[in-house]
């Protein structure tokens, strides 16, 4: 999302955007929370919503992409 770009969300989307970031954050383990900021999670959700995404699961998935999973070992 371009910082100079204005995006207007309808009331239903605003309500959705109020709940998705907290759900995404709480789904992370403490180790994962240490690898990403709440602000970045929220920004990723806003970018996806600005591109038209409205499905909460897909918004969370996009926000949490590239977050290290502690159950995976680096090769």
pLDDT tens readout for residues 33-67: 999 999 999 999 999 999 999 999 999 999 999 88
Q: What is the average pLDDT score of the chain?
A: 88
Residues present in the chain in total: 75
Where does residue 41 fall: left (phi above 0), alpha (psi -120 to 50 degrees), or beta otherwise?
A: alpha
Annotated domain spans of the chain = 11-64
Question: Which pLDDT value is given to residue 5?
Answer: 74
**Interatomic CA distance for residues 32 and 67, integer angstroms:** 6
Question: Which pLDDT value is given to residue 74?
Answer: 44
Confidence class for position 75, pLDDT limits 50, 70, 90: very low
Distances (CA, A) of 2 to 15, 22, 47: 22, 24, 9
Confidence class for position 70, pLDDT limits 50, 70, 90: low
Question: Which pLDDT value is given to residue 73?
Answer: 45
């Amino acid at each position: 999302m371009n910082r100079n770009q204005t995006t207007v969300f309808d009331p239903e989307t605003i309500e959705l955007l109020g709940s998705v970031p907290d759900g995404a954050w709480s789904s992370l383990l403490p180790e994962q929370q240490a690898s990403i900021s709440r602000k970045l999670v929220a920004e990723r959700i806003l970018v996806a919503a600005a591109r038209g995404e409205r499905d909460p699961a897909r918004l969370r998935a996009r926000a949490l992409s590239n977050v290290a999973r502690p159950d995976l070992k680096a090769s």
